[in-house]
Chains A and B, each alone.
Chain A
Amino acid sequence: MTEGFDSGQADHQILLSVADLAVDFDTESGIVHAVQDVSWSIGAGETLGVVGESGSGKSVTAAALMDLIPITGRVVNGTFIWHGDRVGSAELARLRGSKITMVFQDPMNALNPLVHVGRQITEVLVKHVNLSRSAARRRAHELLELVGIPDPSRRMRQYPFEFSGGMAQRVVIAMALAAQPEVLIADEPTTALDVTIQAQILDLMSELQKELGIAIVLITHDLGVVAGVADHLAVMYAGRVIERGRSADVFANPYHPYTRGLLASTPHPRDVIDRLVPIKGNPPVVTELSPGCAFADRCPEAHDRCRVERPPMSAVPSHPASETVVLRDREVACWNAF
């Protein structure tokens, strides 16, 4: 399942890869395979969009990477590759918070309510950059300026409850940038914010990316969020990646019926679509999966084979419409794709 993933990538400068990740959760109703056979990779300075509905396992992948899986869950399979080398859990632990950092969905709750905002930034610098307290304070001041927070010296002495949602998310981003990471994982960074603030935060993130050359993994349920920003896209459904490729390709030629459905049900900022088409039905409970394609029950194009045999991720042959461009990592898991 990973042949397509391994081949054709050596020539790109791959920063971080996740391969064949599988995470199980023990629940009261049995073992849930939250994530299976998930692979993705991201190059330096790139943006990877991981898209899926809630429960599709998109956040679990990041949680596994950051060692944030709750105690009821465990990683049962998977490798992480950092700068071309396979890294074990001890090395990963060193990368966490310094080279790989994270931004969360709900900024108001992501900060400790009883600790000054300044200290929540400086503690990262003291821990990972070995700065002295005063040097850390100066650096935190710069970081807050960088993320566009006015009057940083005053703001540093304030508590999270004195910040608005958008401002708090800027603080969280400053915190994530403090140790000069190479990869920033943003898990639904705009979902909890007002629509007007969402755009500001996304703009800020892409500006910072240009300025600092950070790779961003943008996890979202909202195709509209990744549309303008992501270089690559991984679409997840029921714990698996079902389509992957360059963002522009996926948007132009979605092969998987689910991806097509997602596109049809998302208002696109640039196109004016007459009518949004919802995907019928509900995502499956991950304990009750059939041996076939997980999407088969909701798929308008499903036939008998879809229900009994799971389609593997397979490389997409050069599409007639996409000229002669070599499609890096363009894969889809559907019997009907071609």
Chain B
Amino acid sequence: MSDDSSPASAAARIRKKRWRLIRSLAEDKVALAASIFIAVIVLAGVLAPWLAPHPPSEVSLSDRLVPPVWSGDGTGSFVLGADALGRDVLSRVIYGARVSLLVGFSVVIVAGVFGSAVGLVAGYRGGRVDTVLMRLADAQLAFPGLLLVILIISVIGSSIPVIIGVIAIYGWMIFARLVRGNVLQLREELFIRAAVMAGCGPLRLMRRHLLPNLMAPILTQAMLEFARVILVEASLSYLGLGIQSPNVSWGLMVAENQTYLREGWWTVFFPGLVLAVTVVALNLVASWLRVRSDPQQQQLLAARRRVRTEGVSA
């Protein structure tokens, strides 16, 4: 125990764990492709000013509705074509990633931290605290979420912080329920009871024993929430209640160009496609994470690996 917790070996252990995680990711082709796609989107968002061939709002009326490069009339200057104002679709898709990632990441952090904290307290304390918190979460689930969000935004106006705030208000209880459920289960586990009997205080117990065991489900849920939040942001922007021009969002792009569907399908198709694939990729990585962190599933995977490398011998 003592040498196990020395910083050097702990670091080595984490490195080893990380390496195992990467290796198992490399084995799952679908999850690997999904994570690569997410990495590309993240890079595109971060490096947008350097990657985008045009400034996202550069209007060029002479280039109105130029089709994508591969369709006869296209030009190399607009790889995915240009929209009704002659703005480069590719550049706008790249800039759109910024907003999606910013909103998604912020909401998941805010809702995840708050919700997990509530769930941890509710699950650990139990009793009346638990009842009140969970009833609150239940009642909120019965709320007409999107309409309430629309009401709030129409009242206080739309800006990125407001969007993050209202989506987070609606997202915290998913984390709260998840963490509470897991804590209730963990509380019955032998090692937790042993730790309590050994005089482990509540704070130390949460930090050392509960949180490490909760990380995997929280992370999985965070991925799923990320996907959901990106969809909600795009939907709000599509309705004109989210990101406002001149900022760029995938949902806003679809809304702006919908009337030109007949003359320029690419202006609607590509932003929506990138959005859809991002959401699918996030869902795929989440389900891979879930399988990875389920010890039973992991055992199966290990067994399968053994059979593959050593052959069937029985």
- Do A and B touch, yes or no (CB under 8 Å, in the complex)? yes
B314 at the interface (CB under 8 A from A): yes
A33 at the interface (CB under 8 A from B): yes
**CB-CB nearest in chain A for B304:** A28
B69 at the interface (CB under 8 A from A): no
A2 to chain B, nearest CB (A): 24
Segment touching A, from B181-189, B198-206, B231-239, B305-313: B305-313
A31 at the interface (CB under 8 A from B): yes
Interface string of B145-172 (1 = CB under 8 A from A): 0000000000000000000000000000
- Interfacial chain B residues near A31, Cβ < 8 Å: 312, 314
A164 at the interface (CB under 8 A from B): no
Q: A29-B307, A30-B307, A31-B314 are in contact. List 8 more A-B contacts (CB 8 A).
A: A28-B299, A28-B300, A28-B304, A28-B307, A29-B303, A29-B306, A30-B314, A288-B314
Q: Max chain A CB contacts within 10 Å: which of B304, B306, B307? A: B307
Partner-B contacts on A (CB < 8 A): 27-33, 287-288
Beta-carbon contact of B303 and A28 below 8 Å: yes
**CB-CB nearest in chain B for A285:** B314
* Bound-state Cα–Cα, A30 to B306, Å: 9
B304 to chain A, nearest CB (A): 5
**CB-CB nearest in chain A for B301:** A28
B27 to chain A, nearest CB (A): 15
- Interfacial chain A residues near B303, Cβ < 8 Å: 27-29
* Bound-state Cα–Cα, A28 to B300, Å: 6
- Interfacial chain A residues near B312, Cβ < 8 Å: 30-31
Beta-carbon contact of A33 and B314 below 8 Å: yes
- For chain B, the bracket of interface size reads under 10
Q: Max chain A CB contacts within 10 Å: which of B299, B300, B313, B314? A: B314
- Interfacial chain A residues near B307, Cβ < 8 Å: 28-30
- Interfacial chain B residues near A288, Cβ < 8 Å: 314
* Bound-state Cα–Cα, A90 to B314, Å: 31
* Bound-state Cα–Cα, A47 to B314, Å: 35
Beta-carbon contact of B300 and A287 below 8 Å: no
* Bound-state Cα–Cα, A287 to B311, Å: 13
5 closest A-B pairs by CB: A28-B303, A30-B314, A287-B314, A30-B312, A29-B303
B306 to chain A, nearest CB (A): 7
Partner-A contacts on B (CB < 8 A): 299-300, 303-304, 306-307, 312-314
* Bound-state Cα–Cα, A31 to B303, Å: 12
18 contacts between A and B (CB under 8 A): A27-B303, A28-B300, A28-B303, A28-B304, A28-B307, A29-B303, A29-B306, A29-B307, A30-B307, A30-B312, A30-B313, A30-B314, A31-B312, A31-B314, A32-B314, A33-B314, A287-B314, A288-B314
B290 to chain A, nearest CB (A): 19
- Interfacial chain B residues near A29, Cβ < 8 Å: 303, 306-307
Q: Max chain B CB contacts within 10 Å: which of A27, A30, A288? A: A30
B298 to chain A, nearest CB (A): 11
* Bound-state Cα–Cα, A31 to B314, Å: 6
* Bound-state Cα–Cα, A32 to B314, Å: 7
**CB-CB nearest in chain B for A288:** B314
- Interfacial chain A residues near B304, Cβ < 8 Å: 28
- Interfacial chain A residues near B300, Cβ < 8 Å: 28
A40 to chain B, nearest CB (A): 25
**CB-CB nearest in chain B for A289:** B314
A119 to chain B, nearest CB (A): 36
- Interfacial chain B residues near A32, Cβ < 8 Å: 314
Q: Max chain B CB contacts within 10 Å: which of A29, A30, A288? A: A29
* Bound-state Cα–Cα, A144 to B303, Å: 48
* Bound-state Cα–Cα, A287 to B312, Å: 10
A31 to chain B, nearest CB (A): 5
**CB-CB nearest in chain A for B312:** A30
* Bound-state Cα–Cα, A27 to B313, Å: 12
- Interfacial chain A residues near B314, Cβ < 8 Å: 30-33, 287-288
- Interfacial chain B residues near A30, Cβ < 8 Å: 307, 312-314
* Bound-state Cα–Cα, A16 to B313, Å: 35
- Interfacial chain B residues near A33, Cβ < 8 Å: 314
A103 to chain B, nearest CB (A): 30
B38 to chain A, nearest CB (A): 30
- Interfacial chain A residues near B313, Cβ < 8 Å: 30
- Interfacial chain B residues near A27, Cβ < 8 Å: 303
- Interfacial chain B residues near A28, Cβ < 8 Å: 299-300, 303-304, 307
**CB-CB nearest in chain A for B299:** A28
* Bound-state Cα–Cα, A29 to B304, Å: 7
* Bound-state Cα–Cα, A31 to B312, Å: 7
* Bound-state Cα–Cα, A144 to B146, Å: 56
A288 to chain B, nearest CB (A): 8
* Bound-state Cα–Cα, A288 to B314, Å: 7
* Bound-state Cα–Cα, A165 to B209, Å: 38
**CB-CB nearest in chain B for A24:** B314
**CB-CB nearest in chain B for A31:** B314
* Bound-state Cα–Cα, A30 to B314, Å: 6
* Bound-state Cα–Cα, A287 to B307, Å: 12
- Interfacial chain A residues near B299, Cβ < 8 Å: 28
* Bound-state Cα–Cα, A205 to B27, Å: 54
* Bound-state Cα–Cα, A30 to B303, Å: 9
* Bound-state Cα–Cα, A27 to B304, Å: 9
* Bound-state Cα–Cα, A220 to B312, Å: 32
B172 to chain A, nearest CB (A): 35
* Bound-state Cα–Cα, A30 to B299, Å: 14
- Interfacial chain A residues near B306, Cβ < 8 Å: 29
